[in-house]
Amino acid sequence: MCGRFLLAMEPADLQDAFPQFKIPGTIQPRYNIAPSQPVLVIPNNSSFKASYFIWSMIPAWAKDPSNGSRMINARAETLAEKPSFRGPFKYRRCLILANGYYEWKQWPGIKTRTPFFILLIVWQTV
């Protein structure tokens, strides 16, 4: 489960990839997007416009909204069943724009973790 990702694309390239949506004209490259930070997303609504949302999820039953950055991931196997994620999964989806994400590996005998960058490369032949 990723806890950090990056978005470092030219707005024109994003616009070409998603021509039916309006992409902001300026996007600052961000190489370490973390929970509780603004994230460029395409919401599942009728606006057809990419917007910035804060990366968090505050369950309807939560008494303290400051805990929103704790719930950032869900397991695909139980997503539709867990009370915290069931409603958002069914009714409030969005597309997160990202180039890749980071996973961390804990090595035996070492306290710090090593980040690994995961990137999808699509090869095109002409």
Residue-wise pLDDT for 34-88, tens only, equals 988 999 999 999 899 999 998 888 877 777 777 666 777 888 899 899 888 888 8
Q: Does residue 124 sit within a domain? A: no
Q: Does residue 126 sit within a domain? A: no
Closest to 11 (Cα-Cα) out of 22, 1, 21, 26: 26
Q: Does residue 31 sit within a domain? A: yes
Q: Does residue 125 sit within a domain? A: no
Q: How many domains does the chain have?
A: 1
Catalytic residues: 2, 103
Q: Does residue 100 sit within a domain? A: yes
Domain boundaries, position 72? 4-119
Give per-residue pLDDT as tens, 75-120. 889 989 988 888 888 888 899 999 999 988 999 999 998 989 998 8
Question: Tell me, what CATH number does 68's domain have?
Answer: 3.90.1680.10
